[in-house]
Structure 1
């Protein structure tokens, strides 16, 4: 008598509910659920929930094969064959439609600058038509090959569509997973050292701050353009006037500031004489992208400053062995339930050692995954993944018990996590990024599309690392595998292409990407240490440390501004103003950062002193602290320096020659006479070198 699957049905339903709740929490973290429209929220939710359910469906399918006996506890969570097959059909085709049609259309629809929904949809269809035409051209060439191999019938067209989608997804998945298998354990190992982690964060600060300044300037120029169009809307239609007013209302820049139009004419490109809907749509699209870019780098800069401050706090607590992050730290991370001493041991000792242990564990898992990918193409008996998932205690066909299902879900989850980590680590995707509570709609569609695109090929690639007697009996193989292997070309691609995972893995391991950039010229930079001994502007960790300290000090002074806009990090901190780039509203925000403005606090003066020591600036002196003899000696020195000496005094000593041992050697880095070199020389700017 066949056993009942009631317990497995309950487990599967509860698992789906838990997955749905977790996906909703993830969406709530990156998107405001209340203000996000339903036509965007539903596709993104399905694009994340369906791949997560595949991680649950694959182990269930492995335990629900026909070869699995119905005896005792050797079967784990299983479902009837018909139920599994229907689940695969629904999951696969929903994922396919979302990946290739719905999400690309929704992304362009949300990114469009038009106001009317019909115009936005037309723009989305027109933008996706080029890509679809390329896919159609490739499909026609593949269709000819399928017809020559199997004849013309409906199964050939269906197999062509599924095989091409699988091939493209597998190429992308293998490349990303190979990078992530090396990059993720390496990042954990590097973050174990607090000092190295702090140095790395400080090295990222100048580049992040520069990108934030560029984003602020770009948004300011676009908003200036919108302000100038407001004065020229009289000759346009009512819809165009409402459109321009809407752009100005959403702008964060006041339109009544003096000199606004002059700044627009000098910083922005000319506005056409006739303002058309296409021009307004393009400007609206640029404004939305600029606001997303500003929110992205503002979030990165805030997180980077907070991270550097937290790491420095942990390192400073080594003497007192008590760790207090302060009230300004986010409430969820304060961990008030722990005492300061226990918190110190957790962050100073436990967390670094835990990162090292996880990095070693994940590195071993990565080695086993690469080994299984390469070996399973020739002999599945040597696949470590297959040996840990499939057990042979009851029959010759192999069994997948509940423990084997847990191991299978863990392997598949790790493979997907490495591929998704590579997406965030390899930043070649343009302006797309995930921002907490402020993710751009087009970025949300794109990231969910990648999750849906990668999961199905990785899942099928995962079951092929099992013995053939097991995976060829699964419903997934009967649904997708037979169509992929319909031709010899498709069968060979599915079998041997995973071996190429060695290419991205070795390239990441030995940093071949960086070496290639240096060889072709992108990474060759001139050494500016001679012309710029301070290192300012070269993106060094010292400059990053000064920028972070000044940012944290400005927040601690209660200025109410979390970010210092363009000019505070480069021009104003050097002591020179940036004309034409800062508005009066911004100057009021930058005032606490200027030397002598509101820096009476010792901590602010210390941060300014460290920044000035890096940039080789003189310390700002207070006139009230200067003594009378300092002014007197300066006047005397200036008098002697500016006096014109007689001609006989100018030529005095020109006929005398110095001995060789007293001459200045240009090859000496310190310069000066031999007597100076004996005592360490003399530094520039009149400073004594100790």
Structure 2
């Protein structure tokens, strides 16, 4: 009879199987959003898909581990599994993530980005590129192995502990820094999106940067395609041996678009006299990157123009209190509220009153959650019983430390928010070179890299989350027996998880007080995608004329007069403002923005529909101050104050240029970049 009353995990297993299937479907949806499933090879789809499913299953496995390990002597109150089953799941998940992160995805990314036609040459190139990075890691590991072997003896458990500790420490350093940035960025994003006028102004400021990058991307692609056309004209010599390769590269080029495009290479096309396989691989690699970089900024520019048109339509609807998005092109970027069930009057109240209120509420909730995470990181080493996250999971002492179903749901939400904050930091940071996620057109190497980052950050954040709980609870989990005890075994990991996360205050304060923007202004660097120059949340170029130039660019694109020839498909009736009398922004040979001549900056005929442009109630003193401010705003800023140092050419050893006629060096950053398997990232570092 006692055996009959014994609880069984059958219901929990069915529940977990259902949610795991749901995770697989969601991962497939995310993969379909950024990759074309039919056109992407299976050897890319499968590892990237596993790198999304396995970290998401960790978010589901941690609550199950908490409920399973705290049920001793008590009836289970949540979803639980036997200890042996949880251990097997942890082993499978962890080692699959480890192999994907450190071996498969890096090799696969370089394999896709190699530029060679032969799979054997691709594999050799990939192994050689990753060998430099792994050789450095192996050298550090050998030093650590000698120290651990002297202290604990040369055993297999010591080697495994060292490998797990090194991977955990490196992942935790990266995860804590990125999570600290995301804990501030997520609530700030919701807060800023609650104001439609400020959101439009930020889009106008950001339009200049996106337009410049798109122009540079198009110019770079034109130069490379000009080299390809020059190679096609050569029918004799060394180029004849690569005729099929050249024709294959030319098939992916849209010559009709490039011939109709106004941008052209400024100087002569330099092609070496002797064409080698290495040169062809380098040209193929650069063409692939340039094409995907152009697709990235075309998509970003198109989305920015569509968003600006929607925000302006919302602002213009304040007079009639009717909002209609029918004039926007229905290509997936139009409003989701475009339905016959929602009247224009109802749509106006939704976008003007309801959605801003919801965003403010989400900003407050996320700000509170960020405070709880930071507080728990700081207090867990001093007084772990006062950790807010710990109190939310085990609120009452009479539960004997048992985590129920409600605690499992909260733990999954806490862990999901921490991982989302870290991924937000990955998205905002710009130290990853040209890697980016593009809707339905993501580069294969970028997809492998981002999937690797998702897998790399999840496990350290998950174990860091478990340490928020009291010591008797987190030391009793299967996760601790599998990973934590090996981390504590080594001097590198012992106590590291308790003291290092205190440094989360540095990225939190740096993001909160806009340290990145101040460094960017002081050194001319672009470290983090932050368009705000002040800590109060106003755009950094507010009042300097930058937003006016951005508004002119957006307006010309909406009217079909854009200099890039990328039609956004939006009717001019929903334009940002009538800017027919605003001169176009002049560009240099390489697409850099130059300020308009003095006296050519004029305000558009139709003012921006914001309260700041209204001057009907100004008195004499306010009018005088307004005119003085406009005098300084419309003044032309010297190019050297804008950070334009195009006239200063760095030395050849800094720019990575080769002295001969051969292909340029792959690293672009010298010996250190080649040592770490770097790619041509225009001066950025690869982590």
- Uncovered stretches (5+) of structure 2, i.e. residues with no partner: 527-540, 586-595, 603-623, 636-687
Once the two structures are superposed, what CA deviation does each residue of 1:182-209 show, in whole Å capped at 9, x if it has no partner?
Answer: 1111111111111111110000111111
Determine if contact 1:386/1:465 at 8 Å carries over to the other structure: yes
CA displacement 1:656-675 (0-9 Å, x = unmatched): xxxxxxxxxxxxxx9xxxxx
Out of 69, 77, 90, the position equivalent to 2:79 is 77
String of CA shifts for 1:130-174, please: whole Å, max 9, x gaps. 100011011011111211221111101000000000000000000
Cα distance, 1:350–1:254 mapped onto 2, change above 3 Å: closer
Given the superposition, is the C-alpha separation of residues 76 and 220 from structure 1 closer, same or farther in structure 2, using an over 3 Å criterion?
same
Aligned to 1:540: 546
1:294 corresponds to = 294
Alignment RMSD (CA, Å):
3.1
Instruction: Indicate which of 18, 24, 37 corresponds to 2:22.
Output: 18
Instruction: Choose the corresponding residue for 2:558, options 527, 552, 556.
Output: 552
Distance 2:415 2:563 in 1: 44
Residue 201 of structure 2 is aligned to residue 199 of structure 1: yes
TM value normalised by structure 1: 0.78
Partner of 2:640: none
1:44 to 37, 40, 48: 48
Cα distance change of structure 1 residues 121 and 381 upon mapping to structure 2, 3 Å threshold: same
Deviations 1:442-481 (A, max 9, x none): 1101110000000000000000110111111111100000
Kindly indicate whether residue 250 of structure 2 is the aligned counterpart of residue 248 of structure 1: yes
Distance of 2:214 and 2:359 partners within structure 1: 31
Cα distance in 2 for partners of 1:51, 1:238 equals 49
Q: Work out the CA distance in 1 between the residues paired with 2:542 and 2:359.
A: 33
- Cα distance in 2 for partners of 1:111, 1:520 equals 31
CA distance change for structure 1 residues 520 and 63 in 2, over 3 Å: closer, same or farther? Answer: same
- Aligned positions of 1:576-591 closer than 5 A: none
Using the alignment, how far apart are the partners of 1:84 and 1:115 within structure 2? Answer: 45
Q: Distance in 2 between matches of 1:34 and 1:346?
A: 38
Maintained 8 Å contact 1:163/1:483: yes
CA distance in 2 between partners of 1:604 and 1:371 (Å): 43
Give the direction of change, closer, same or farther, for the CA distance of 1:517–1:203 in structure 2 (3 Å limit).
Answer: closer
Whether the aligned pair in 1 keeps the contact of 2:312 and 2:575 (CA below 8 Å) is no
What displacement does 1:233 show?
3.4
Which residue does 1:320 correspond to in 2? 320
The structure 2 residue matched to 1:494, chosen from 491, 494, 497, is: 497
Judging changes above 3 Å, is the alpha-carbon distance between structure 1 residues 618 and 109 closer, same or farther for their aligned structure 2 residues? closer
Partner of 2:479: 476
Aligned with 1:608 (options 577, 580, 588): 580
Tell me how far 1:250 sits from its aligned partner: 1.7
Shift in alpha-carbon separation, 1:256–1:606, aligned structure 2, 3 A: closer
Does residue 1:382 correspond to 2:386, yes or no? Answer: yes
TM-fit CA distance, 1:9:
0.3
Distance (Å, rounded) in 2 between the aligned partners of 1:439 and 1:346:
33
CA distance in 2, matches of 1:520, 1:309: 34
SS at match of 2:64: helix
Q: Is the aligned partner of 1:457 residue 2:463?
A: no
- Going from structure 1 to structure 2, the CA distance change for 1:366 and 1:606 (only over 3 Å counts) comes to closer
Residues 103, 446 of structure 1: 8 Å contact kept? yes
Cα distance change, pair 248–317 in 1 and its aligned pair in 2 (3 A): same
Higher mean Cα deviation, 455-464 or 350-359?
350-359
Deviations 1:15-37 (A, max 9, x none): 00000000000110110001110
CA 232–369 in structure 1, closer or farther in 2 if over 3 Å, else same: same
**Residue deviations 1:528-582 (CA, integer Å, cap 9, x gap):** xxxxxxx999870001111101101118xxxxxxx642xxxxxxxxxxxxxxxxx
Q: CA deviation at 1:611?
A: 4.6
1:276 matched to which residue of 2?
Answer: 276
Conserved in 1, the CA contact under 8 Å of 2:437 and 2:446?
Answer: yes
Residue matched to 1:665: none
Pairs within 5 Å for 1:390-469: 390-392=394-396, 394-396=398-400, 398-469=401-472
State the alpha-carbon separation in 1 of the partners of residues 41 and 390 from structure 2: 44
**What's the counterpart of residue 532 of structure 1?**
none
C-alpha contact (below 8 Å) 1:221/1:267 kept by paired residues: no
Q: 2:116, 2:281 within 8 Å by CA — same for their partners in 1?
A: yes
Could you tell me which residue of structure 1 aligns to residue 156 of structure 2?
154
For structure 1, which runs of at least 5 residues remain unmatched after alignment?
524-534, 556-562, 566-585, 593-598, 620-669, 671-676, 685-690
Match of residue 659 from structure 2: none
**TM superposition shift of 1:491:** 1.3
Contact kept, 8 Å, 1:75 with 1:402, in 2: the verdict is: yes
Counterpart in the other structure of 1:9:
13
Aligned to 1:212: 214
Mapped contact 1:371–1:383 kept (Cα < 8 A): yes
Instruction: Tell me, in whole angstroms, the C-alpha distance in 2 between the residues paired with 1:86 and 1:612.
Output: 63
Relative to the length of structure 2, the TM-score reads: 0.78
Q: Please, which of 91, 94, 100 is the counterpart of residue 93 of structure 2?
A: 91
After TM superposition, give the deviation of residue 334 of structure 1 in Å: 4.5
1:59-112 per-position Cα deviation (integer Å, ceiling 9, x unaligned): 0000001653342xx520001111100000000000000000000011111111
CA distance in 1, matches of 2:259, 2:582: 36
CA shift in 2, pair 1:618/1:511, >3 Å: closer
Distance 1:216 1:537 in 2: 30
Q: For residues 254 and 538 of structure 1, do their structure 2 counterparts lie closer, same or farther at Cα, with a shift above 3 Å needed?
A: farther
In 2, Cα distance between equivalents of 1:131 and 1:92: 22
Of 503-512 and 174-183, more deviation after overlay is shown by 503-512
Contact 2:114 2:122 (C-alpha < 8 Å) held by counterparts? yes
Shift of 1:232: 1.3
Q: Is the 8 A contact 1:103 1:449 kept in 2?
A: yes
Which position in structure 1 is the counterpart of 2:237?
235
2:323 is the alignment partner of 1:351:
no
Checking the alignment, whether the CA contact within 8 Å between 2:325 and 2:338 is kept in structure 1 is no
Distance 2:577 2:374 in 1: 54
3-state SS, counterpart of residue 554 of structure 1: coil
Query: In the aligned structure 2, how far is the partner of 1:536 from the partner of 1:608?
Result: 22
Contact 1:227 1:255 (8 Å CA) reproduced: no
Q: How many residues align?
A: 570
State the 1:245 CA deviation: 1.1
2:532 is matched with which residue? Answer: none
